[in-house]
């Protein structure tokens, strides 16, 4: 079995044994029995993330015992073509997938399985193979046949496990299959995602796997960029010529309300990073979009690495008999990521910890560093500039062009350390990121899972280090639980951290609503900074003068 497929399976509940005391604080509290704690943590996490508690359906877990024995005996490997429930159960066991709902279709065991079971476009299959997507990942094995059977879907799979193709492949097929009475019939496929960066990335994936249909003009696709929005607004382009559109909610709803995009023909709706799009700040726009998708036969699907029960309830209200797929443990971090919690004492300790990592050769680029606010991201950027680390920064105050530019340079390797806020926490696929540093503790387990999911993608290994101070004693608890669930035996935290009590609902709310007030980032005294700045200005000024003199002479 392909290594990527093995690695992209979700994490299990086995707890890491390697508890270190590297950064431990002295503690008087006695550690209670390990087993009891494990049980209580498992219970707590299960409760927090209980995604499927609302309905009892048939479950693919029924045959688990039998399959356990077969897998243990090592005599049965799922075949590449899945033709019955026993083979399906074997594949699900191997993939750690749990599928619930009514009339669940069989998963696929290979992309070739699609052509034997469905009227699947051969050209779409060859586009996939040419792009080196040879074998489906676990989420793709389940989601594609569900979508091709025209079923609504709620899918939860780890970061970097191939969710994008899991929705794009059947979406393209469905749109190709649906009749188009005229060239200006209207948009039939719609994908919404929370950020421009992610929408762009989805669009690029869509371009790659539909390229033969684009060149033969069988498909017409677009990303709702600012330029396209302007053209639509000025009637330079008619949106009805597009078959599939990718957009962020805000831009889309503005154009829809201006009457320049009609969503009434949409047959396939994909909500990527669904929990984000149903969270405060987005939920109204998402709801607005849904209300404009008036086609009765619309199929809806939502994807994320984290789907809390509140979102599951909302999904219930807008979907028809959805099938739910979970790969691994819900809301778990990808198990290819080695996670570490580091107590830095105070704010100054964070910069010192980074410098310590540099001297211990632990600071291996490419690296992404997350902070809680734009101001703090800017401050760390200025601080690390002096360390000559090829740093750059992305946050919401930078223009889309600047953001694009930095991403390109980071992908090319010209930027080694990318400093950012939660604006880049979700979805963005930087293939080779070695290390994610949470300079500031994220405000929920979900935010943590997504942030660290920028590393360890597509089966690669990665490392995530989270700094915390005394002020973070509340916010760090959900993160500790995610680490405890991790199936990565190298993940570490200190024994005393286990004594942190579990969070009450109010405490969780408090963390979400108020970010911790922190001391300014800097280890360099102000006078030294001013001196440096004066020196840089002088060098810059003398360079400019020389250039002007050279120009005047020539």
Query: Residues 403-432: x/- map of binding to Mg ion (CB under 5 A)?
Result: ------------------------x-----
Of 85-93, 156-164, 310-318, 466-474: span binding ligand ADP (CB under 6 A)? 156-164
What Rg, from alpha-carbon coordinates, does the chain have?
25
Total binding residues toward ligand ADP, as defined by CB under 6 A: 18
For ligand ADP, give the closer residue by CB, 118 or 430.
430
Closest residue to bound Mg ion by CB: 427
Binding ligand ADP (rule: CB under 6 A), the pick from 265, 457, 477, 508 is 457
For ligand ADP, give the closer residue by CB, 82 or 351.
82
Q: Is 483 helix (H, G, I), strand (E, B) or coil?
A: helix
Based on the shown chain and the rule CB under 6 A, indicate whether residue 455 belongs to the binding site for ligand ADP. no
Based on the shown chain and the rule CB under 6 A, indicate whether residue 456 belongs to the binding site for ligand ADP. no
Q: What share of the chain is helix, strand, coil (3-state, %, to 5)?
A: 45, 15, 40
The tokens describing 289, both together, are 């979009």
Binding ligand ADP (rule: CB under 6 A), the pick from 105, 162, 194, 462 is 162
For ligand ADP, give the closer residue by CB, 167 or 416.
167
Of 21-29, 130-138, 280-288, 352-360: span binding ligand ADP (CB under 6 A)? 130-138
For Mg ion, give the closer residue by CB, 304 or 372.
304
How does strand 97-100 pair with strand 323-327?
Answer: antiparallel
Task: State in angstroms the smallest separation of the CB of 315 from ligand ADP.
Answer: 18
93 binds, among Mg ion, ligand ADP, none (CB under 5 to 8 A by kind): none
* Residue 203: closest CA among 188, 213, 215, 190: 190
Q: Using CB under 6 A, which residues numbered 430 to 449 contact ligand ADP?
A: 431
196 binds, among ligand ADP, Mg ion, none (CB under 5 to 8 A by kind): none
Omega prior to 86 cis, within 30 of 0: no
Based on the shown chain and the rule CB under 6 A, indicate whether residue 306 belongs to the binding site for ligand ADP. no
DSSP secondary structure code for residue 11 in this structure: P
Binding ligand ADP (rule: CB under 6 A), the pick from 345, 385, 402, 458 is 458
Residues 372 and 420: their CA atoms lie apart, in Å, by 9
Task: State in angstroms the smallest separation of the CB of 302 from ligand ADP.
Answer: 13
Of 76-84, 129-137, 362-370, 437-445: span binding ligand ADP (CB under 6 A)? 129-137
Task: State in angstroms the smallest separation of the CB of 178 from Mg ion.
Answer: 25
For Mg ion, give the closer residue by CB, 137 or 488.
137
Q: How many of the other CB atoms lie within 10 Å of CB of 277? A: 23
Residues 224 and 238: their CA atoms lie apart, in Å, by 13
Task: State in angstroms the smallest separation of the CB of 164 from Mg ion.
Answer: 5
Task: State in angstroms the smallest separation of the CB of 162 from Mg ion.
Answer: 8
Q: What is the DSSP string of 95-138?
A: HTEEEESSSPPPPPSSSHHHHHHS---HHHHHHHHHTT--S--H
Task: State in angstroms the smallest separation of the CB of 420 from ligand ADP.
Answer: 17
Task: State in angstroms the smallest separation of the CB of 536 from ligand ADP.
Answer: 39
Q: Is 62 exposed, middle or buried (0-12, 13-18, 19+ CB in 10 A)?
A: exposed
286 binds, among ligand ADP, Mg ion, none (CB under 5 to 8 A by kind): none
Based on the shown chain and the rule CB under 6 A, indicate whether residue 4 belongs to the binding site for ligand ADP. yes
Q: How many of the other CB atoms lie within 10 Å of CB of 298? A: 20
Sign of CA dihedral 327, 329, 332, 337: negative
Q: Is 395 exposed, middle or buried (0-12, 13-18, 19+ CB in 10 A)?
A: buried
* Residue 385: closest CA among 253, 282, 522: 522
Query: Residues 167-206: x/- map of binding to ligand ADP (CB under 6 A)?
Result: ----------------------------------------
279 binds, among Mg ion, ligand ADP, none (CB under 5 to 8 A by kind): none
Q: Are 146 and 323 in contact (CB under 8 A)?
A: yes
Residues 140 and 146: their CA atoms lie apart, in Å, by 10
Q: Using CB under 5 A, which residues numbered 139 to 168 contact Mg ion?
A: 163
Of 41-49, 135-143, 493-501, 514-522: span binding ligand ADP (CB under 6 A)? 135-143
Task: State in angstroms the smallest separation of the CB of 198 from Mg ion.
Answer: 7
Q: Are 360 and 435 in contact (CB under 8 A)?
A: no
Q: Using CB under 6 A, which residues numbered 392 to 431 contact ligand ADP?
A: 429, 431
Task: State in angstroms the smallest separation of the CB of 246 from ligand ADP.
Answer: 14
For ligand ADP, give the closer residue by CB, 100 or 140.
140
The β-bridge partners of 419 are 369, 393
For ligand ADP, give the closer residue by CB, 186 or 328.
328
Axis crossing angle, helix 476-485 with helix 34-48, rounded to the nearest 10? 110
* Residue 448: closest CA among 484, 420, 422: 422
Residue corresponding to tokens 């005294």: 525
Based on the shown chain and the rule CB under 6 A, indicate whether residue 161 belongs to the binding site for ligand ADP. yes
Sign of CA dihedral 214, 219, 220, 224: negative
Q: Are 343 and 468 in contact (CB under 8 A)?
A: yes
Residues near Mg ion (CB under 5 A) are 163, 427
Residues near ligand ADP (CB under 6 A) are 4, 133, 135-137, 140, 157, 159-165, 429, 431, 457-458
């Amino acid at each position: 079995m392909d290594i990527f497929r093995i690695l992209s399976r979700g994490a299990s509940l086995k707890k890491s044994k390697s508890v270190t005391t590297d950064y431990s604080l002295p503690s008087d509290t006695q550690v209670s029995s390990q087993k009891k704690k494990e049980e209580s943590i498992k219970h707590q996490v299960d409760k927090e993330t209980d995604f499927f508690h609302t309905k009892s359906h048939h479950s693919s877990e029924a045959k688990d015992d039998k399959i356990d024995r077969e897998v243990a005996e090592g005599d049965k490997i799922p075949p590449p073509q899945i033709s019955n429930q026993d083979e399906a159960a074997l594949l699900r066991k191997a993939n750690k997938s749990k599928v619930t709902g009514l009339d669940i279709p069989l998963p696929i065991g290979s992309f070739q399985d699609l052509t034997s079971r469905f009227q699947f476009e051969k050209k779409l299959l060859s586009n996939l193979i040419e792009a080196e997507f040879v074998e489906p990942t676990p989420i793709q094995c389940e989601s594609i046949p569900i979508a091709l059977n025209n079923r609504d879907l709620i899918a939860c799979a780890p970061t970097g496990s191939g969710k994008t193709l899991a929705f794009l492949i059947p979406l393209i097929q469905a749109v190709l299959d649906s009749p188009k009475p005229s060239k200006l019939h209207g948009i039939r496929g719609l994908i919404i995602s929370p950020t421009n960066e992610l929408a762009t990335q989805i669009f690029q994936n869509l371009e790659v796997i539909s390229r033969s249909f684009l060149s033969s003009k069988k498909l017409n696709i677009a990303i709702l960029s600012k330029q396209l929005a302007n053209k639509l607004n000025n009637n330079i382009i008619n949106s009805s010529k597009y078959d599939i559109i990718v957009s962020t909610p805000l831009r889309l709803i503005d154009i829809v309300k201006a009457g320049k995009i009609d969503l009434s023909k949409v047959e396939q709706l994909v909500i990527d990073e669904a929990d984000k799009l149903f969270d405060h700040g987005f939920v109204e726009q998402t709801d607005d979009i849904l209300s404009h998708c008036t086609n009765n036969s619309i199929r809806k699907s939502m994807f994320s690495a984290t789907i809390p029960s509140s979102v599951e309830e909302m999904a219930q209200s807008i979907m028809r008999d959805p099938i739910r797929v979970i790969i691994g443990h819900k809301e778990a971090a990808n198990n290819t990521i080695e996670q570490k919690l580091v107590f830095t004492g105070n704010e100054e300790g964070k910069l010192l910890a980074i410098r310590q990592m540099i001297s211990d050769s632990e600071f291996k680029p490419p690296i992404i560093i997350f902070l809680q606010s734009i101001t703090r991201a800017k401050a760390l950027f200025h601080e690390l500039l002096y360390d000559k680390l090829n740093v750059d920064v992305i946050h919401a105050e930078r223009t889309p062009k600047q953001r694009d530019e930095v991403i390109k340079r980071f992908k090319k390797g010209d930027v080694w350390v990318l400093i950012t806020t939660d604006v880049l926490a979700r979805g963005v696929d930087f293939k080779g990121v070695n290390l994610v540093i949470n300079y500031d503790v994220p405000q929920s387990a979900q935010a943590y899972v997504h942030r660290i999911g920028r590393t360890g993608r597509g089966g690669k290994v990665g490392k995530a280090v989270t700094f915390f101070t005394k002020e973070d004693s509340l916010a760090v608890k959900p993160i500790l639980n995610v680490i405890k669930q991790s199936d990565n035996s190298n993940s570490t935290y200190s024994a005393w951290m286990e004594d942190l009590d579990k969070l009450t609902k109010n405490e969780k709310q408090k963390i979400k609503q108020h970010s911790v007030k922190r001391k300014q980032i800097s280890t360099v005294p102000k006078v030294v900074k001013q001196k440096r700045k004066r020196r840089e200005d002088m060098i810059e000024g003398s360079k400019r003068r020389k250039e002007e003199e050279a120009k005047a002479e020539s």
